[in-house]
C-alpha cells in the first residue's frame, strides 16, 4: 500500500486542480455567482443524477473516514472531509488513501 502513496497524492492534486479549473471558469463567466453554479447542478435529470451520485459518495466517504479514524487514531485522515466537501470526492478520496497509507504510530 505504501508504494501507492505517490499515486494517491498525484490523484488528489489532479482531483483538486482539474475540477476547480472548470468551477472557476464557470464562475468567472457568470459574475462569480455561486447560486448560478448550484442551479447548474440541477439543470436537467442528468446533472441532478450526477449531483446526487457525488453527494452520496461524499457522505459515504465521510462515514468511512470517521469510522477508520476512530478505530486507527489516524487523526490526519480527517483532512479528507473538508477536502471532499470543499473541493470534491475526486480530491477527498485519493487524499484519504494517501493519508491512510502512511504508517500510523
Sign of CA dihedral 61, 66, 68, 73: positive
Chunked mean pLDDT (size 10), the chain, 105 residues: 88 96 94 93 95 97 96 94 96 96 72
Q: What is the 3-state secondary structure (H, E, C) of 34-92?
A: HHHHHHHCCCCHHHHHHHHHHHHHHHHHHHHHHHHHHHHCCHHHHHHHHHHHHCCHHHH
pLDDT at 104: 60
pLDDT at 27: 94
Amino acid at each position: 500500500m505504501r508504494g501507492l502513496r505517490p499515486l494517491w497524492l498525484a490523484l488528489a492534486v489532479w482531483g483538486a486542480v482539474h475540477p476547480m479549473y472548470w468551477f472557476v471558469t464557470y464562475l468567472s463567466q457568470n459574475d462569480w455567482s455561486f447560486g448560478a453554479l448550484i442551479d447548474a447542478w440541477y439543470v436537467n435529470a442528468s446533472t441532478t443524477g450526477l449531483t446526487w451520485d457525488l453527494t452520496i459518495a461524499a457522505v459515504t466517504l465521510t462515514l468511512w473516514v470517521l469510522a477508520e479514524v476512530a478505530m486507527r487514531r489516524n487523526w490526519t485522515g480527517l483532512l479528507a472531509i473538508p477536502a471532499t466537501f470543499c473541493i470534491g470526492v475526486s480530491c477527498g478520496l485519493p487524499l484519504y488513501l494517501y493519508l491512510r497509507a502512511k504508517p500510523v504510530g
